[in-house]
Every structure is written in C-alpha cells, then in structure tokens.
Chain A
Amino acid sequence: MATIGAPLLQTKEGSPRGPLERREERLAWLMLLPVVLALLALGVYPVLSTLWFSFQQGGSFGLGTTSAGLANYLRLLHDDQFWSALRFSLLYSLVTVCGQMICGTALALFANRRFRGRWLARAAILFPWAIPTATNSVIWAYMFNDQYGLVNSLLEHLGLMNPAHPIVWLGSAQLATLLIYVLAIWKANSLVALLVLAGLQGIPEEVYEAARVDGASRWQILWRVTLPLLRPVLLVTLILRTIESLQAFDLISAFTNGGPGNATQNLGLYIYLQIQQFGDFGYGSTIAVVLTAITLVFIVLYMRTLLRTGTR
C-alpha cells in the first residue's frame, strides 16, 4: 500500500530511482508548476518586502526609510501595547478556535443525519459565514447597542432589565472581550462545520457497518471511528482557523475598534495601525513577521501532533 503513495508526512523524500518513479516526479512537477509560478509571481514580493522593511526604520509609508538593524525587534521588547495585543491575540485564537472546532464539529454531525428539514440545518451552517465580516460586525454592534439594540430590547420586554439602567455590552473590557469571542465562534463555526461535513460524507458507510457488527456503541463509534477518520480534515481546519484567528481584523475593528481603551486591540489591529495609519512600515512589518513566526510555530506543533498520532 505504501508503495504507490503514503500520506504526505510519511513519504520518504530523496531522489526516486526507477523510470516509473522518474515519471511520477515529472508528473508532480507538471502539476505543481502553475501554482509555484503563480505564487512566485505574486506572493513572494510582498513577503520579501515585509521581511526587508522589518529591518528598516523612519520614513513615511515605506518611502525614505533607513537601515535599522534589529532596532525594530528590540523596540518590541519594551512596547506594552504590543505585548497586550499579543496576549489578546493568543487568547482570542485559543478560545475561538477551540469553540469553533467544537461547535462546528457538533453542527456537522447533526447536519449529517438524515431527517426532514435537514436543508434548514445546512442553511443554518452556511449563513453566519456568508455575511461579509465587517457588515456582520456592524449588525452585531447594532444588536448590542445599549439604547436601541435588539438584545436590550428583548431583555426589557422580558422584564429582565430596567430600561433606566441598560446593560452597556461593549463598555467594559470583560464583556466586550466575551462578546468578541462569541461573535468569532458564531461567525466561523460554519467553516469548520462545512469542512467536517464534507469529511463525513467521504467516510464510507461500510466502516460504520463494520463497527456496529463489532458491537460498538454510538459514543465509541464517534471517538474510535468517526473522529480518527476525520483527522486530516480536522487538522487542516485547525490550521486554517488558527491562521485566520491570529490575523483577525475586520471582525474586531468594526465591532469595538479595539476599545474600550485598547482592551480588545489584537495584533491585526496593531499592525494595521502601524502600517496603514502611521505609515511606520518598519515597525508594522516587524510585528507582522513576529506574528507570522508565531503562526508557524502553532502549525508545526499541530503537524507534529498529527505525525505522531497518525502513524499508529
């Protein structure tokens, strides 16, 4: 079985020997060439420019900068706003990705059942994620407005809130952070659900049959059969959600703009501020590079975990 092709991370590298292998290699390169060329043409320059700017300082919007050596990186060490944004980003990523993975998988398992009205469940999965993120955040901010928001109006109608003392949802750091978590989980559990659902559809029915014949309970089937088979999909979902959660911007900027104070400012907002508003390409790019490195660490960790558990 492993002769034709094994899962990616178990593949032995090194130069192939026979003519068959050489043909395989040629085919691989042919299939990869367009992607590699496209990325070289468009993707590489912005990345190199970001790396280069992280060693530059001064100037305005990247014009007239001078060499900075490691000054930008050293500046990070004493920048309280960077550290608080980093802390927010990491916590945000941890909480929301976990939430999305759990809620999304549960949603997918539910929507994979066969029942009348299942299309409603599928629509429910698609919907939150189909709204443009920024528009969505404006709607949420509207819903949580303390004066004319839906949520306070509902609470008032239910007699749960005194209209003279409306709940100021976005006025305190704790509540605002909590709401951002909820919003982020709500917005992107769709993506997890979609991917998991497609993964579930790829699992042949025979596998479940076999498990049932062996007398496995539903719970056992979920943990011993379904989830292990979903591992590749779950891993890639985890990776994608991690990347996006660490880069989050639209969602927070249109919701709280980082407020109150700087309590909900994440690295995405801070980079935006430095680059697009202050024109400080040097420092903004430095933070971008650090964020990229952090993301890379996460991804390598996830992949390692897969590699270990993958080779049973």
Chain B
Amino acid sequence: MVINDDAPQMQPVRSEMGPAAGSAFRLEAEPNPASSPRLTRRRVLSQGVKASLGVTVLGSWLAACGGAPASTSGPVTIQFAALVDTTGEQTAEIKRFNDLHAGKIHVDYVELPSVATDQYSKFVNAFRAQSPTPDVVQIDVTWPAQFATPGWLAPIDQYVTSSYLNQFWPSARTVGRVNGHLYGIQRYMDIGMLYYRTDLVEKYGGSVPQTREEMQALAERILAGESSHGVSYGYLMPGKKIEAIVDEWLEFLWGAGGSIGEPGKLQVNGPLQVDALQYMHDLIYKFRLAPTGTSTYVPNDILALFSQGKAPFMRNWVFAYAIANTPSRSKVAGKVGVAPTLATSGHSGHGCTGGWVLAINANSQYKDAAWTFIDYMLSKETQTSMALNAGLIPSRPDVVSDASVQAKVPYFKQIGSILNSGQNRPTLKNYNQFTTPLQAAINSVLSNQASPSAALSSVQTQVASLT
C-alpha cells in the first residue's frame, strides 16, 4: 500500500469487476519510481486512524478509492495460486501463457509459502468465504476429496473427454475423481522411491534390493566394508511427525501385500500393519541400520546425509534425485539410482504417490478461462519444459517416455515402471483426521516411546469410520 500525500492509489487488478469482488482489489505499490511512496508520519497516522475508526469510514474510503467498475472490454484476469517455485519455471510458463493469450486472458501468479498446512489454511479461508479468487488452485493429491465434498471445487467433466484423460497416468486422472465427478487433473507426480548408491551396490556384488531382507543383507555388508570411508548408516528414512512417515509406513504395508481397506472401514492395527511399523522400528533399534535420530528427520535431513555418502540406501521423494546428482551439492553425484520401495519376498514394492493437482474454484467467475489455463499447463509442451527446467515428473507418460527428454533426465527411464506400481493414499474427505493421529502414533514408535501394536490400536477407533 502506498500512502501518498494524494489520495491513496488503488489498482483494480480485475478491472472488469465491480467493487463487489473484494479480494480482487489489491493496494499495490505504484510501479513508477517517480511516484515512490512518500511516508510522512502525520500522513500515515491520519490515514491509519481513519482506517481503524470502523466500518463506515473504511467503507466510504474504500469506495472512494476503489474506483467505479471499469470497462468490461479488457482481458479477463485470473489468479493462479500455487506453492512457490524457486527454479523460476512456473513464472516462465505463466508468462508464455500470458503472451499467448495477450488481450484475452491474463494469469496472475499468487505464490504460496511451501508449507503445506499454510497453503491448506489459505485455501480453506478463501473457499469458505466464497471468494471468487484464486480461480485456479494447485492442491495436494490428498485435498481434492476434502475440497470437493463441501462444494468448493468446480467439476471439470464438461471440459474433458475420455481420450483427453487417457493422456495422463492412471493415478493422475483418478486422483481428482470424487463422488462420480472429476474435479481436477494432476500436474506433476511424486512418489516414494528407494534411492541407492549404484557404486556400492555394484561393489558389494548385489543386485538392486527388492525386499527388506535383501536390503538389510546388502546394507550390512556395505556398512561393514565401508565404515572407514564415511558410511555410517545402512538405511535412511524420514521419521519426524509429518505426512511422509504415514506414506512410508503405507509403503512397507503395501510391499508386504497388505492394505488399510476402504474408507468407512479402515483398519490400521491388523497384523501386517503392526508388522510394517515394527519393521520401521527395528531398522533403527534392532538392526541399527537407520540413525537413532530418525524420529526427528524430515526428507531434507536424510538427503543431506545421503548426499554426503553416509548411507547406501534411502527412502525419499522424487525431489531428492536432482539434488543428490548435482555435483556442487552432493558428494555422490552420478552414483545415485532409484528403484521401487521395499517389499517382502513374494510381493512387489509400491511407492506412495504424491504430487499436485490443478483444479478450479467453484466460485470462480471465469471457469472457461481457468480451464484454458489448466489445459495449457497440462499440455505436452508445457510439461516437457517443466520436466527439463524444474525437475518435476510430468503427469503425462508421453513426456516421460520421450527420448529427447530421457536423454536429459536419464532416470525417467526407470520412473515409468515405478509410477505404474505406485498406490494412492485413501481418498477421504476427512483425510487430516486420518493422517494426524497416525503421524503421532508412528512417530512415538520411531522415538521408542510406544509399541507398534499399542500405538496403532490407539488410533484405530479414531480412524476406522472416516470417509
């Protein structure tokens, strides 16, 4: 906001909308440096006092400077809210779209803090207040059910045909399906993977481990042989009280052929469930392959250890790949491979899927323009650019399998099969009520404060009937 000696200047961002579009108006710094903010104490005080006097004064002030409804001929401006992207790729994509649709549609990028719970709060606030903005939202894969059930997202069935949908990975096109309607399509994929040191696995004669036992045996051999070379741990996993530990537990469960059942009759304390958690506990306290500090680690922490060559194996998300293979940030660059997460013998590993979904605010006044933008973001061209410049996994198999893309991102050769074996977390409108007690239970086991069966049983009654 600028407090000039002149009347405060407001720029209607969505010029075609009247003053009723509350969130549309932003007081912005005047871009022209010639009229840079002049802040005198007296001025600020008088404006501030005015501002605090209450609704009436405020209302009239705003009406005075909010401006009359502007002409309706200008371009439609839509807001796209998504977490911050430090690579600059997202901004570039939006700029290309704006150039492409100059004069018709303009996309405003609202960057959100990357803390998922912060984004969640901001979305809930806007949706709950029936705000028409943001128009396009990028939401976590566990959110479509949470946001679509109360009617906060607009169905996009009318925009998509089945052949259009078939361009995407199966989980990318089903993740937005809630109560028979489609509410969003995934923009980029994420999945839990087993990271391994290609050099160490080769040196100690093993093939890439697929089962818990194979990993253990190999890790112990490597640990014995390489401890003088800085390898201090066998297996790294996140363990702090965050979403990732639920996903990791699900992966151990799925890899043993188990499942937590369907919404409405979820089961988290069956024998396989307890066994999966027991195994995570044993990795730390019995086999001593994982660090004792595991219960305090987020994915970033274990990546730091892995990048310094402290361990041959790590369970982590996709983001770790690019960093672990960047020579300036990693001592093991070029020696990192990925594989499906661990299974028990006779079963296969299933990574837990993640990633972000594009959807439309149910109260958006420009749903068609919003879809045009989503369509652009999901196009082969944009997704190719995203894969190459931001290191994210496109939701389109045709980009992942593209030879020219694979030449630049070699691990895309393996990621296809890993993604195909991936599994989604349960689609629950009360997902947070499911994951929060589980996070606490799993974390209390990993910090050696509770037994797996007791911890999971205490959660069972809370989550059993969630839908």
Q: Chain A: residues with CB nearer than 8 A to chain B?
A: 34, 37-38, 41, 60-63, 145-148, 164-166, 168-173, 256-263, 265, 273, 276-279
Contact = CB atoms under 8 A, between A and B. Distances in A.
Contact of B53 (A34, A63, A262): A34
B241 A61 contact: no
B120 A259 contact: no
Contacts, number: 103
A148 B305 CA distance: 9
Interface string B425-461: 0000110110010001101101101100001000000
B258 to A, nearest CB: 23
B128 interface: yes
A170 B296 contact: yes
8 contacts: A38-B52, A171-B447, A257-B240, A257-B242, A260-B449, A261-B447, A261-B449, A276-B124
Nearest to B124: A61
Given A171-B292, A277-B432, A277-B436, A147 B447 contact: no
Contacts of B440: 258-259, 261-262, 265
B293 A260 contact: no
B271 to A, nearest CB: 22
Contacts of A60: 149-150, 429
B210 interface: no
Interface in B12-55: 52-55
Interface of B: 52-55, 117, 120-121, 124, 128, 149-150, 232, 240-242, 291-293, 295-296, 301, 304-305, 429-430, 432-433, 436, 440-441, 443-444, 446-447, 449-450, 455
B163 to A, nearest CB: 35
Contacts of A276: 117, 120-121, 124
A147 B292 contact: no
A277 B293 CA distance: 27
Given A41-B54, A62-B128, A260 B443 contact: yes
Given A259-B296, A260-B443, 10 more contacts: A145-B293, A145-B296, A147-B291, A168-B293, A257-B241, A258-B241, A261-B241, A261-B441, A261-B443, A279-B124
A61 B296 contact: no
Contacts of B436: 273, 277-278
A240 to B, nearest CB: 22
Nearest to A261: B444
B149 A259 contact: no
Nearest to A273: B436
Nearest to B455: A261
Contacts of B441: 261
Contacts of A63: 128, 150
B296 A168 contact: yes
A174 B30 CA distance: 53
B444 A171 contact: no
A279 to B, nearest CB: 7
Contact of A61 (B55, B128, B292, B305): B128
Q: List the 5 closest pairs (A to B, CB-CB), nearest first.
A: A261-B444, A260-B447, A259-B241, A146-B293, A168-B293
B295 A260 contact: yes
Nearest to B233: A147
Nearest to B429: A60
A269 to B, nearest CB: 11
A278 B124 CA distance: 11
B449 A263 contact: yes
A183 to B, nearest CB: 15
Contacts of A165: 292
Contacts of A279: 124, 432
Nearest to B117: A277
A276 B301 CA distance: 27
A147 B450 CA distance: 24
A278 B466 CA distance: 12
Given A171-B293, A261-B443, A61 B430 contact: no
A259 B240 contact: yes
B304 A147 contact: yes
Q: Which of A165, A166, A168 has the most CB of B within 10 A?
A: A168
Contacts of B150: 60-61, 63
B293 A147 contact: yes
Given A61-B124, A63-B128, A259 B54 contact: no
A258 B437 CA distance: 12
Nearest to A64: B150
A148 to B, nearest CB: 6
B51 to A, nearest CB: 10
Nearest to A172: B447
Contacts of A148: 301, 304
A61 to B, nearest CB: 5
A147 B449 contact: no
Given A61-B128, A261-B441, A277 B295 contact: no
Contacts of B295: 168, 171, 259-260
A310 B430 CA distance: 53
Contact of A147 (B52, B301, B432, B455): B301
Contacts of A171: 292-293, 295-296, 447
